[in-house]
């Protein structure tokens, strides 16, 4: 197990979420599902904790009940190599969720994600401060990141 593991609190959808997340990324799988037994706080046989891996990064999901909800104070940042990858992840993660701005979204369970093109930090850190500002302004007007629009902003 890695030294630090992200631990996600769900009401009762941990196994469903882990199954969905592992379907989105290569090098991903569910390692173990620990189920409630008789006398547990959850119904016997339902998932209590799910240990899973996304793109080589380990996570634990808990069915802990409705007391705590996800907020934007924590998000999962995804470094995307192409617009096609951004588009695919955006479409799948926003299904039942909601779009935000600047590449941020919430999935159907309320977990925040940042779906970001690898080229974005490079464009935003242009040595030409005018170009960098134009890219920043273009990004601030976006929901899903659009590399063509960012490159166009860098050229104007």
Domains of the chain, each with CATH number or no CATH: 1-68 (3.30.720.100), 70-156 (3.10.180.10)
pLDDT at position 40: 81
Quick one: pLDDT band at residue 83, thresholds 50, 70, 90?
Answer: very high
pLDDT digit string (tens) for 116-149?
A: 999 999 999 999 999 999 999 999 999 999 999 9
pLDDT at position 117: 95
Tell me how far apart the alpha carbons of residues 106 and 104 are, in angstroms, rounded to a whole number. 7
For the chain, give me the number of helices (H) and strands (E)? 5, 8
Q: Is the pLDDT of residue 98 over 90?
A: yes
| pTM exceeds 0.85 for this model | yes
State the pairing for strand pair 112-117/104-106. antiparallel
Q: Cα–Cα–Cα angle for 80, 18, 68, nearest 5°?
A: 100
Is 52 within 8 Å of 58 (Cβ atoms)? yes
């Amino acid at each position: 197990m890695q030294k630090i593991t992200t631990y996600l609190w769900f009401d009762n959808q941990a196994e469903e979420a882990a199954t969905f997340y592992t379907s989105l990324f290569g090098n991903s799988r569910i390692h173990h599902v620990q189920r409630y037994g008789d006398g547990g706080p959850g119904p016997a046989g339902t998932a209590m904790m799910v240990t899973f891996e996304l793109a080589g990064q380990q996570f634990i999901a808990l069915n802990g009940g409705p007391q705590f909800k996800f907020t934007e104070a924590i998000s999962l940042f995804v470094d995307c190599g192409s617009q096609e990858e951004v588009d695919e992840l955006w479409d799948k993660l926003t299904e039942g969720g909601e779009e935000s701005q600047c590449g941020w979204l919430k999935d159907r369970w309320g977990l925040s994600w940042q779906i970001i093109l690898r080229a974005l930090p490079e464009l935003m850190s242009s040595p030409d401060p005018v170009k960098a500002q134009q890219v920043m302004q273009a990004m601030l007007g976006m929901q899903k990141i659009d590399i063509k629009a960012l490159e166009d902003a860098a050229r104007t």
